[in-house]
Amino acid sequence: MAELDEDAAGGTDPTEDHAEIYNEEGVIRPSYVAHIGAAIADRDILILKQDVANLHQSELGDLLETLLPEQRRALVELLGSDFDFTALTEVDEAIRMQIVDAMPNAQIAQGVQELDSDDAVYILEDLDEADQNEILAQLPFTERIRLRRSLGYPEESAGRRMQTEFVAVPPFWTVGQTIDYMREDQNLPEHFFQIFVIDPTFKLLGSVDLDKILRTQRAVKIEEVMHETRHAIPATMDQEEAAREFEQYDLLSAAVVDENERLVGVLTIDDVVDVIQQEAEEDLLRMGGVGDEELSDSVMSTSRSRVPWLLVNLVTAFLAASVISLFDATIEKVVALAVLMPIVAGMGGNAGSQTMTVTVRALATRDLDIYNAWRIIRREMLVGLINGAIFAVLIGAVAGTWFQSVSIGVIIGAAMIVNMFVAALGGILIPLMLDRFKIDPAVASAVFVTTVTDVVGFFAFLGLATLWFGYD
C-alpha cells in the first residue's frame, strides 16, 4: 500500500487510487482490507488518515461494509473528526446504526453539522427521539430548525429527502445582483442548478436556470427571465411519486413547497437516484416475502422477517393439499397422476409469476392504469392460451410416451392449457385487485397467485382424470 500512499500524497488521478482499492470486478481488494485491518489493530492513525480519510464517500461506505463490526467502530474512533459522516448514507441501515450507536451524541452532532441537510436527516431519522433531541439541541439555531422541519414530514416523503440549502432571490433583483450574491455569500449550497424566485413571505414565484443567468445581461431583472415553476413538489408527496415526476419531465432539480406554497427545500437528481434504487429494492424484496431485509441483518432479525410469509405459504399449501385429498381414490388407481401433478402446478406457478412480475412493476411505474388495463388483460389471456397450448403438446407427448398412455397425455395437456390460462389471468387480476383496495401488490401478490395456480392446477388435472377414468 506504499504506492497508494504516495499517489494520494502526490495528488495523482483519483481513478488510479480507485484501481488500487478495487479489483477488476469492482470488489474491494482483500489486500487493501487486510492493510486497513492491520492499521486499525495497530491503532496507526497516520496510515488511516492517509489511506482512508480521503476516500470518496461511496468507497468509504464499501470499506465499512467489508470490515468486521469491531473494526468499523475502531476505525470511526481513530479517524475522529476526519471521519466522513456522508459515508453513513452509503451503508445498510443495520451497519449505520451499529456505528452511530457506538458514538457519543456530541460526536454525531459535530459530524452532521458538516453534512447537507438531506444527508443529516437520513442519518438522524433512524435514531430514537431522545437521541434526536439531544443531538439537535447542540446544533446552531437555524440548522436545528431546518432539520426539525424535515424530520417532521412523513417517512419516505419528499420533505425527508429534500435539501434545505438553496439559492432564492426576490424578483426585483437584477441578474448582476444575483451573480454578485452567488459569488460573495459563503453559505450557499456547494452544488445547485437553479435559482428560485420568492416573494417576501417565501412563496415560490418561479425559477431561473443557471445557464439562463450566464447568458443574460447584468441589468435585466430576474422577473423578466424567470419561468413559473411547473413541477414544484409538495413536501408531503411520497418520494416514489416525486421520483416519477423527475423521470417524466427529465428534471435535474425541483422546488419543494409546503401546504402554503412556500419554498422549503429542493430535491436534486442524486437524491432521486437513491430513491429509485431504494424503491426498486423494496419491491423486489417484498415480492420475495422478505420485507426490508438487508445483508448485514442478524440471524434472528432475518428469521423474524421471513417467518410471517412462510406461515402464510404454509396455510395455502394445506389448501392445495386439501384439493388433492378430494381425489385420493383416483390417485390410488392411477399412480402416474401423483408423479405428474407437480408439473402442472409448477408450470402454472412459473407462468403466473411472470405475469405478476410484469404487472406489479407496471403498477409501480404507473404504466398500467384504468385506460389500458383491459387491453393488457386480453393480451395476457391470449399469451396464457398460446403458451398453454404449446406446453400442452410438449408435456402431453412426453407424459403419454413415458407412461405408455394416450389418456394420460391428453389429460395433462388439457390441464396445462387450463392452468396456464388461469395463471396468466390471476397474475394480472390479483395485483390489480390488491392495488384497487390499497394493498401493496408487491407484498401480497405472490402468495395469492401461487395459491390460485396450485389449487386450479391440481383440481383441473385430477378432476379431468376422474372424469376420464370414471372413478368416484
Name the band, by pLDDT with cuts 50, 70 and 90, for residue 6.
very low
Of 17-26, 268-277, 283-292, minimum mean pLDDT range = 283-292
- Average pLDDT score over the chain: 89
435 vs 9: which has the higher pLDDT = 435
Answer yes or no: do 361 and 451 share one domain.
yes
Same-domain check for residues 434 and 367 = yes
Average pLDDT for 8-16: 43
pLDDT at position 408, please?
Answer: 95
Tell whether 362 is covered by a domain. Answer: yes
Helix H or strand E encompassing 145: helix 141-151
In the predicted structure, residue 10 carries a pLDDT above the cut 60: no
**Separation of alpha carbons 374 and 322, rounded Å:** 34
Query: d(Cα 373, Cα 344) in Å, to the nearest integer?
Result: 28
The three three-digit cell numbers of residue 78, written as one number: 481513530
186 in the same domain as 145: no
> Are 126 and 185 members of one domain?
no
Task: Specify if 357 maps to a domain.
Answer: yes
pLDDT at 402: 95
Name all contacts of 271-277 with Cβ < 8 Å and 24+ positions apart. 271/118, 271/161, 271/162, 271/163, 272/242, 272/243, 272/246, 274/161, 275/161, 275/239, 275/240, 275/242, 275/243, 276/243, 276/247
Give 410 or 6, the one with higher predicted confidence. Answer: 410
Structural domain contains residue 52? yes
For position 33, which CATH number holds?
Answer: 1.25.60.10
Does residue 212 have a pLDDT over 90?
Answer: yes
Indicate if 44 and 140 belong to the same structural domain: yes
- Cβ–Cβ under 8 Å, residues 283 and 362: no
- Of 98, 131, 158, which one is at a domain's C-terminal end? 158
Q: Can you tell me the mean pLDDT for 428-454?
A: 89
- The count of domains in the chain is 3
CATH number of residue 373's parent domain: 1.10.357.20
Asked whether residue 29 is domain-assigned, the answer is yes
Whole-angstrom distance, CA of residue 401 vs CA of residue 79: 71
The candidate with the shortest Cα–Cα distance to 471, out of 420, 407, 427, is 407
- Least confident stretch, 13-17, 53-57, 82-86, 449-453: 13-17
Q: Are 94 and 46 part of one and the same domain?
A: yes
Would you state the pLDDT for residue 2? 40
DSSP string, 34-58: HHHHHHHHTT-HHHHHHHTTTS-HH
For range 265-275, the mean pLDDT: 92
- Cβ-in-10-Å burial (0-12, 13-18, 19+) of 386 comes to middle
Q: Are residues 29 and 84 in the same domain?
A: yes
**Percent of the chain clearing pLDDT 90 (strictly above):** 69
Please identify which residue in the block is written with the cell numbers 439562463. Answer: 212
- Distance between CA atoms of 194 and 280, rounded to whole angstroms? 28
Residue 395 lies in a domain: yes
Q: What CATH number has the domain bearing residue 200?
A: 3.10.580.10
Residue range 286-297: mean pLDDT, rounded: 66
- Mean pLDDT across the stretch 284-300? 68
Whether the per-residue pLDDT at 445 is higher than 90: the answer is no
Residues whose CB falls within 8 Å of the CB of residue 229, separated by 6 or more in sequence, listed in order: 196, 204, 205, 206, 207, 254, 255
Cα 328 from Cα 387, distance rounded (Å): 29
The confidence score (pLDDT) of residue 370 equals 82
**Who has greater pLDDT, 371 or 323?**
323
Query: What are the grid coordinates assigned to 370, written together?
Result: 384504468
Residues 175 and 153 in one domain: no
Does residue 354 share a domain with residue 208? no
Statement to judge: residues 229 and 305 lie in one domain: no
Share of the chain above pLDDT 70, in %: 93
Look at residues 194, 208, 198 and name the one whose alpha carbon lies nearest to residue 163.
194
Residue 161 near residue 150, CB atoms below 8 Å: no
**388 is in which domain, residue-wise?**
299-469
449 by Cβ neighbours in 10 Å (0-12 / 13-18 / 19+) ranks as: buried
Tell me if 62 is assigned to some domain.
yes
> How does DSSP classify residue 83?
S
* In the predicted structure, residue 421 carries a pLDDT above the cut 80: yes
